[in-house]
Structure 1
Amino acid sequence: MPYVEVEKGVQYYYEDVGQGKPIVFVHGWGANRKVWERQVVDFSDKYRVITIDCRGCGNSDNPAHGYEISQLADDLNQVIQSLDLKDATLVGWSAGGSIVVDYVSRYGGEAVTKVVSVGGAVPRYTSTEGFDLGAPLENVKATLTAMRANRPAVARAIADGCFHQDVGQPMKDWLFNNFMEQSWLTEKTMADLGVIDLRKQLKEISIPVAFFHGLQDGVVPFSLSEYSANEVPGAKLVAFENSSHAPFLEELERFNEELASFIQS
């Protein structure tokens, strides 16, 4: 199985399908590469599609440390460098949106030339003085407390909240089971999402950026992507009217069309 060592003793699992211009997909908090299965199938006939499992998720290692967004972005850089990628597009969902934005603010330009945040927790997930668009920090603390008491119940609530349309119980179960493959250590990423602030990083991005977001998103508010798109010169904002937090599942065809259009532009 293919692995990249992102630091001494820590291996990332990845899958690499197809040939052509690279697209690297980064999953959201607690999920893994499998959430992108339709994008792997639909894009790999024209592109090189790479999906990764972040630390603590899927088949990657579960070290006791390194779950902060900045470290996950550094891990992503190690994967990209190890695979010697050039002119790649990064696509990050939810917390993965935070990871790819942090990555391109520090590393973007040659290996990665375009980035897409999908329902991203960008620029910050929680509200603070001078920024009232996010959720109260107390909500994150309450979620972490609930995870300690009943992690499956929290994962179930998040999985169900990813959908606006009636996708059926099997789809919700599939996403829930995906979340349950994570290590309990990923609660450290959730905790970091409560405090990180990427407003400064937005202003440092010099490559094309698109913000894809479901208008019905009850997990990460659409207003965050509206704000972020206004902060990055020339950024593209794409609203998915019939989606909650996972437009790549709820509006698959349009999502893939919008992604292909952005990559080709």
Structure 2
Amino acid sequence: MGHLEVEDGRRIYFEHHAGARQPVVLVHGWGVTARSWDTVAPVLRADGHEVVLLDLRACGRSDKDFADVSIAAMGADVARLCEHLGLQRPVVNGWSLGGAVAVDAVARLGSTAGGLVLTGGATPRYTSASDWPHGGTPDDVEAVLAAAASDRATTFKGVAQAVCAVPVSSDLVDWMWGMFLEMGPRGDDSIRDLASLDQRKTIGTLEVPVLILHGRNDGFVAFSGAEAAVGLYPDARLVPFDASGHAPHLEERDAYLAELRTFLTSTGDQTGQ
């Protein structure tokens, strides 16, 4: 456990778990925390991977009063953390908004990155455009934020309830809800930035293997967008999860872990780990 200063004395929280196999950096989604990976990180650690988790700006145990909460700023944080820890050929796995952060981080790391995993990743676009008929609109995002401004607790309870398409326990919903309530108000501007972001040019430059793990019933990031994006990467594979919504690592965990492990084995082989 530690903190890394990234902006004018403000710090992000991270955990660095030792391991002899290829490093994996787990980047959470909007509003939640590193704890959202608690069904994945222990398995990777048991497999011998070096595992790094962090709380993004304004989330969890990171400082809440950052001036810049953009995707680019958070991508820079992830890249800086990889360099700070001396990670060798890390695979960066981003969930939801964390997928856009992971894309930005891998682009910054360049040839020093080992791979990219997108778990319901909100990239290359979260919202639709004239040439991208996938996703909602910036107005949809503003409507959620307006509701949160009026009643943050109830709004985020509804968001937590909508994450999964398969039946899950009320305890799991409350677990996610609790993480949302740890986000400071500056975190709202992170999803505002995501709503205007277009990473199509960026993903075309990524010279790493990419694994896209996406639920067909995702109510937040359209599956059709993942289908449209796969051909924009130089080297990518899409794995659909037929029963899942926005969290295949929670909804179809065993199948998700099998795909992730296979991918890590292949990228580890390429790096000699």
Interval of TM-score (by shorter of Structure 1 and Structure 2):
over 0.9
Native 8 Å contact 1:165 1:250 kept in 2: yes
RMSD of aligned C-alpha atoms? 1.2
Aligned to 1:52: 54
Q: Per-residue deviation at 1:131? A: 1.4
Q: Tell me the distance in 1 between the aligned counterparts of 2:235 and 2:198.
A: 21
1:116 equivalent to 2:102? Answer no
Q: Per-residue deviation at 1:64? A: 3.6
Q: What's the CA shift string for 1:163-210, capped at 9, x where partnerless?
A: 111112111111111111111110010111110111111111111111
Q: What's the CA shift string for 1:40-72, capped at 9, x where partnerless?
A: 211102111111001111111112411110111
Q: Equivalent residue of 2:58, what SS? A: coil
Q: Equivalent residue of 2:127, what SS? A: coil
Name which of 76, 79, 82 aligns with 1:80.
Answer: 82
Native 8 Å contact 1:92 1:120 kept in 2: yes
Q: Per-residue deviation at 1:18? A: 3.5
Structure 2 unaligned blocks of 5 or more: 267-273
Q: How does 1:11-30 map to 2 (within 5 A)?
A: 11-20=11-20, 21-30=22-31
Q: Tell me the distance in 2 between the aligned counterparts of 1:218 and 1:131.
A: 17
Q: Tell me the distance in 2 between the aligned counterparts of 1:190 and 1:154.
A: 15
1:9 equivalent to 2:4? Answer no
Q: How does 1:166-205 map to 2 (within 5 A)?
A: 166-205=167-206
Runs of 4+ in structure 1 off by over 6 angstroms are none
Q: How does 1:155-234 map to 2 (within 5 A)?
A: 155-234=156-235
Equivalent AA in structure 2 for residue 50 of structure 1: V
Aligned to 2:148: 147
Q: Per-residue deviation at 1:137? A: 2.1
Q: Per-residue deviation at 1:6? A: 1.9
Q: Tell me the distance in 2 between the aligned counterparts of 1:108 and 1:257.
A: 27
Give the share of equivalent positions with the same residue, in percent.
Answer: 33
Number of residues paired by the alignment?
264
Q: Equivalent residue of 1:194, what SS? A: helix
Equivalent AA in structure 1 for residue 31 of structure 2: G
Q: What's the CA shift string for 1:187-237, capped at 9, x where partnerless?
A: 010111110111111111111111110111111111121111111122010
Structure 1 unaligned blocks of 5 or more: none
Q: Tell me the distance in 2 between the aligned counterparts of 1:126 and 1:154.
A: 20
Native 8 Å contact 1:210 1:229 kept in 2: no
69-78 vs 24-33, greater mean Cα deviation:
69-78
TM-score (norm 2): 0.93
Equivalent AA in structure 1 for residue 183 of structure 2: Q
